[in-house]
Amino acid sequence: MSAKPTNRPSKYQVFLLWSNDTVKECRDVRKFFKEFNKKTAKPDFGVTFEIIDHCFDTDDKGHPGAVPAEDLLAKAKDTLALTIGLCTDDETSLNPYTEAKAQQQLDLVLESAKQNQFHQSTWFVRTHRDNGGDQREEVSGEIHDLLRLPEGLKPNDVCLFGENDKFADVLAENLTKLLSDESRPWIEDQNAAVHAIEAARRQKMDKLASMGIDPWGQRFDNKQSIADIRTLESEITSETTTSDGGREQTLYSGPKVRVAGRIVLMRPTGKLIFINLVDRTGTVQLFLGQAQVGERNWEIAQCLDLGDIIGVDGELKKTKTGELTVFVEELHFLTKTLEAPPEKHKGLTDPEQRQRMRYLDLAYGDGVLDRFVQRTQIVRSVRDTLVGDGYYEIEGPTLHTIAGGAAARPFETFHNALGMPLVMRIALELHLKRLLVGGMERVFELGRVYRNEGISPRHNPEFTMLEVYQAFGNYETMMDLTESIIVNALDAIGSAYKVPFGDKEVDFTPPFQRKCYSDLLAEHAGIDPTNEAEVIACAKKLGLETDGKHADVLRNEIFEETVEDKLVGPVFVIDYPASICPLTKRKTDQPEVAERFELFIQGMELANAYTELNDPDLQEKLFRTQLQGMDEEDSMAKMDTDFVRALRNGMPPAGGLGIGIDRLVMLLTNSATIREIILFPLLRHEAT
């Protein structure tokens, strides 16, 4: 046996597919590879084989059973180099796996092969036919049509052997040829495989064009959603007939339907093709029979690939197994895809790749599209709640001259025509409050804000914010509004009020809990918040920097370290120190306490609300105090003299609310990170 080519894998995984009627041959295969590995485990050859076998168990009638293909696929590792199928032949059929379930499992195996640098597929067929060349070619063609191997790969090799042949001898002869033939087109790297796939798909695209069919499709009107089609199941009728031989047969008839979607699974079986078609509402099976669709439609069907978008007209019926199926009468080609889709069961597994190629994540990821549909429903619900309550939606400027309304580092830019520096907004607040001065008593904005800060599972530099302001209200008014917004959002996505989040459950049944800021500090930090010495000592114990910091700033840092992650919630934290809330009105009976709340859920701050400060003199004083720099973030604040001037013209007492929409969606959809609910999060440049 010759030395291995340098571009050949050194370890092969052999998928052995067999049924009960080939148990002897399967035993021979295992024995053969056990001996073969002993002979090939030499430095000059260096090829070993790992057997991964899978039996399609059969029932007492010889029908394959429902053995989960995942049991087999879970064992797949780096390379699938060889697939051996043990088949028998009766007088009517070459392949014993005629049941849809077994064929589906086989299709999944081949899909896995494509994603694992598939190198070679060899089918050894036990047959009663003579071993002539014509039969070999015929059998090869039948198997290739049945399995439809991944694009860009050489068709199956088929090794025929008669009933009296020794299987191991035939296997050894053909396997030796397989390994020693250096002229075989081994796929050396992933790029080569990708190019081969694209070339094969382009060939099909050209075939469509030669038939006068636009590979990129045309308008397709009057289509029904798959969800709507499924509601028509009750209109399907059935009739049971008995043949002369006494065999019962059930015939179905149903309504005509018209549907379009993407192909996510194909199971060709000779002159029949089963397709799983998906749209934004669900999945439905299609059945294409050569005799039923006619030669032109069948010719189009031979140009189909996974990922292609098609439309069909047909009759909604059921298969013998009772599965709802569209029996295709007319096939419309709408879009050819040039790249193979992600492997069905693994999908896109790398988080960064999922976010970078969100279009694939949406098309093929399990539940991804549903999650983003829920996001739109939540945002629409928030808007509907506010508009229904008499609020006006406005659009404030994105480019600001001053980064106001929050303590955060802005993104900086420059306006060339005006010759002035600008910043991207870090909050929506100050422009909305100017509108209260102008007489718009209830206003809100849903928009993007930008903060040039860190990235974490809960933070993205660009995020969606809701800010709401109501004249003649206060922070308690905003508590009621916050509960309504969240409860209505849950109703909009059809969720119960008890929502899973990670391994916990959040109960959004109103009213939400209310807890005092100082009480929580005392409970979880174990300090008297009014004792400055205890506050400083606790901060040092936690490793916090204390020099030059106001005691209230230290209290807040201690709160973040010791309390926030304990707040499963939802809980309104109230009565914050006034010194860390410069835009907030003080309590009349406790001027050191601000009329403010923050809503915490699962340790995350979801909402922040104030009774808005409308005293222009006090506001200017607090701005100047903030500029002195209690901490590094506060020092980034700038004096917004125009806002102070607006207050001098009279802003009515008001309540204000801010809600992080991305975090709200995270919580209501049980998403672990903020990037899972932002369609296109900011990513580093892709490595080349």
Task: For strands 654-660 and 604-611, give the pairing.
Answer: antiparallel
- Write out the binding residues: 598, 605
Strand intervals (E) in 298-354: 309-318, 324-335
> Cα dihedral angle (677, 680, 684, 688), rounded to 10 degrees?
120
How far apart (Å, rounded) are the C-alpha atoms in residues 408 and 634?
8
> Cα dihedral angle (542, 543, 545, 549), rounded to 10 degrees?
10
Closest of 359, 430, 348 to residue 394, by C-alpha: 430
Find tokens 């109501």 and name the residue. 470
Q: Which token pair is 462? A: 């660009």
Q: Does residue 570 have a cis peptide bond before it, meaning omega lies within 30 degrees of 0? A: yes
With 0-12 CB in 10 A as exposed, 13-18 as middle and 19+ as buried, what is 507?
middle
Q: Which token pair is 493? A: 């996505």
Find tokens 């907030």 and name the residue. 584
Q: Which token pair is 404? A: 């106001």
Task: For strands 504-507 and 82-87, give the pairing.
Answer: unpaired
How far apart (Å, rounded) are the C-alpha atoms in residues 180 and 5?
8
Give the DSSP H/E element, type plus range, for residue 656. Answer: strand 654-660
Asked if residue 115 lies in contact with residue 343, where contact means CB atoms within 8 angstroms, the answer is yes
Phi, psi values for residue 155, rounded to 5°? -55, 160
Distances 553 to 351, 567, 576, 581, 636 between C-alpha atoms, Å: 37, 20, 11, 11, 15
How far apart (Å, rounded) are the C-alpha atoms in residues 634 and 398?
21
Residue-by-residue DSSP string for 412-480? EEEETTTTEEEEE-S-SHHHHHHHHHTT--EEEEEEEEE--S--BTTB-SEEEEEEEEEET--HHHHHH
- Write out the binding residues for Mg(2+): 598, 605
Task: For strands 399-400 and 324-335, give the pairing.
Answer: unpaired
Q: Does residue 511 have a cis peptide bond before it, meaning omega lies within 30 degrees of 0? A: yes
With 0-12 CB in 10 A as exposed, 13-18 as middle and 19+ as buried, what is 356?
middle
